[in-house]
Amino acid sequence: MQQLFVEADRIINGDRQDQYGKPEHSFDRIARYWSAYLENTNPQDLDALDVAHMMVLFKVARMQGQKPCRDNYTDAAGYLAIAGDRILPLMGVVPLDKALQEAMDRVRPDAKRDSEKPRFQKWNMTGDNHGMDNDG
């Protein structure tokens, strides 16, 4: 177990500190972001969506205290994707692409979906339609 602490100390006070800055500064920024978030939320009723939002704020706080690092942007996008693609549907929120398709179906119920429409017209080299096949 002592080896675990030695390794953690080497990482925290070495590579990670060079990348993220001093942990106490990073933690302070994270605490301020999370405190602001929690002021507008009932902390007794936190759910998975709140955790996803707070993890994005965690990454934003890290972005402020370090040299630019693409990993933080990728991680933040990942947390937002988890919230939008996995958590919201569990809460009954319809994904945007499905909601848009349902709206289009209500407006034009007889219209074919884009996936059912032919992508290209066929060329007909015979006949008088100037090369276009009117069948679709």
pLDDT in tens, 81-115: 888 888 888 888 876 677 677 777 888 777 665 55
SS3 43: helix
Evaluate whether residue 129 is within a structural domain.
no
Q: How far apart are CA 96 and CA 43, in angstroms?
A: 28
Domain membership of residue 99 as a residue range: 9-109
126 within domain boundaries? no
Domain annotation covers residue 120: no
Task: Judge whether 41 lies within some domain.
Answer: yes
What is the domain count for the chain? Answer: 1
Q: How far is CA 68 from CA 78, 91, 124, in A?
A: 18, 34, 56
Identify the bridge partners of residue 132 per DSSP, sorted by sequence position.
123
Query: Which stretches of the chain drop beneath a pLDDT of 50?
Result: 119-123, 129, 131-136
| Structural domain contains residue 87 | yes
9: Cα separation from own chain's centroid: 32
Classify residue 135: in a domain, yes or no. Answer: no
Task: Look at residue 101 in the predicted model and tell me its pLDDT.
Answer: 74
pTM, 2 dp: 0.63
The whole-number pLDDT of residue 99 equals: 67
Residue 116 falls within a domain, yes or no? no
Q: Is residue 80 part of a domain?
A: yes
How high is the pLDDT of residue 136? 45
